[in-house]
Amino acid sequence: RRRERQIKHLLRERLPRKLFDFLVQVGELARDKGVNVYCVGGFVRDILLHLPNFDVDFVVEGDAIAFARAMARTFGGRVREHRKFKTAVVVLESGEKIDVATARLEYYEYPAALPTVELSSIKMDLFRRDFTINALAVQVNPDQFGRLVDFFGGQKDIKNKTIRVLHSLSFVEDPTRIIRAIRFAQRFGFSIGGQTERLIKNAVELNIFHKLSGSRIFHEIRLMLAENKPVACLKEMARFNLLKAIHPMLTMDPAKQQILEEIEKVVAWYRLLYLEPSPCPWLVYLLGLCAGFNDAQVQVLVRRLNLTKKQACLLTSLRHSIRKAIEDLFRWEQGKQATSELFFILEPLALEGVLYLMARSRKESMRKHISLFLTQLRTQTIDITGKDLQALGIASGPIYGQILRAVTAAKLDNDSLSREEQLRMAREMAARSR
Ligand code: ATP
């Protein structure tokens, strides 16, 4: 039975003023256009969970594309339309994107000769969703503003911290929901409901992952690996025999688990520093999952997960550069340990490769060196540029790169090297090369 509740006060308390006012205005627009409009999905769930989430998705009982156009006219912005799916994205002038979807259709059949009537309904829309906690909606029309629509017990499940599907065929319909169930359970510290857990086990026994496309699996795995505690998720996947179901090579033995746990620590450490750029977590974890694989095995996984050419290339080339960097680092440790040499070993690697190396380093001293690279060396700049070299009358050519590299090295090894000294170095190098 539908349980309704007013959550206008929660919206007012928990949303930034601007967003609250925006919802009110969207509601007024809905009234003017004669349609019912709701916020749905993660946005509503997170309001009830007291978590910040300002990513609103709207569902319209009616024509979403027409409504999205009206929104763009009212608030300023443009519309990207997806006619086939009757959805649209409003791109506001600030660059913010808002999804607007048409509620799914419900068919009312009348007896005798009357035609079937199609009604766009929020209930049908919510029924196709993954879990009860994600199947909540809040209406924004002025006379119903803040009415929480809960057909499937989402509020109760949020209170009981439970992930529950809406019906018993849910995982057969879409097996990626199993990965989502694990992801949300870990993120919120929820447990997977008893019946839902049984349905997962059944689905895995039916081998439903076998037929599932790699891209869909990888999409969900990527989202999972971007969470704060992906290793717990991977462990859950292993507990349900899901990793093996995706590909028999994907295992979670204690050694691999340890590697992944180290990666998790390093990624968390890096995130805490708020450094730029932010890494692609999937790439670091995939390096870990592929630890000990040969190139042919990696290719098998690449094909199973249907990685794009670009993603596959990133992974394979990074594996090679990591191998080389490990050898170079070993040599560097045995040698004089000039800072500049450390810089030139790590600098060609993508950030994900450096994080992976840090996670795999057993020695505390090596971790410290890599951390120094990430937090300081990487962003250090010199005080001269190609323009200075031009001004010195040095003819352009490969010498420019060589000079700038040498000056970078000198500055890394001697932080107090002045601009004058850097220019002198450049002049001397240019003279020697003549
Ligand atoms: P997040 O905080 O991770 O963004 P979200 O709930 O907003 O969580 P999305 O992946 O953006 O997650 O999906 C938006 C909504 O679409 C979900 O809340 C859910 O209702 C629905 N949804 C997404 N994927 C599925 C799926 N595979 N099956 C059914 N419903 C789904």
Could you read off the pLDDT of 162-205 as tens digits, one per residue? 999 999 999 999 999 999 999 999 999 999 999 999 999 999 99
Using most ligand atoms within 8 A of CB, pick from 134, 151, 164, 213 the residue to mutate for ligand 1.
134
Q: How far is CA 399 from CA 267, 386, 412, 417, 419, in A?
A: 38, 10, 20, 21, 19
Q: Which two tokens stand for residue 47?
A: 């309001």
The answer to whether the Cα torsion of 149, 150, 154, 156 is positive or negative is positive
**Nearest to 30, CA basis, from 119, 100, 123, 117:** 100
pTM: 0.90
**Residue 57 Cα: closest atom of ligand 1:** 14
Looking at ligand 1, which residue's alpha carbon is closest to its atom 11? 42
Ligand 1 lining (C-beta closer than 6 Å): 41-42, 129-130, 134, 174, 176-177
Looking at ligand 1, which residue's alpha carbon is closest to its atom 10? 42
Q: Per-residue pLDDT for the chain (434 aa), expressed as one digit of tens each?
A: 455 688 999 999 999 999 999 999 999 999 999 999 999 999 999 999 999 999 999 999 999 999 999 999 999 999 999 999 999 999 999 999 999 999 987 776 666 666 666 667 999 999 999 999 999 999 999 999 999 999 999 999 999 999 999 999 999 999 999 999 999 999 999 999 999 999 999 999 999 888 899 999 999 999 999 999 999 999 999 999 999 999 999 989 999 999 999 999 999 999 999 888 999 999 999 999 999 999 999 999 999 999 999 999 999 999 999 999 999 999 999 998 899 999 999 999 999 999 999 999 999 999 999 999 999 999 888 999 999 999 999 998 999 999 999 999 899 999 889 999 999 999 999 999 87
Calpha distance 48→54 (Å, rounded): 13
**Nearest to 354, CA basis, from 231, 259, 267, 234:** 267
CA of 163 to the centre of ligand 1 (A): 13
Calpha distance 244→80 (Å, rounded): 39
* Residue in the structure block whose two tokens are 């995982």: 171
CA of 159 to the centre of ligand 1 (A): 19
CA of 165 to the centre of ligand 1 (A): 13
Four-point Cα dihedral 32, 36, 40, 43, nearest 10? 30
Calpha distance 415→388 (Å, rounded): 20
Q: Helix, strand, or coil here: 88?
A: strand
Q: Helix, strand, or coil here: 149?
A: strand
Task: Report H helices in 193-305.
Answer: 194-205, 214-225, 230-239, 242-246, 254-272, 281-289, 295-304
Cβ atoms within 10 Å, residue 316: 15
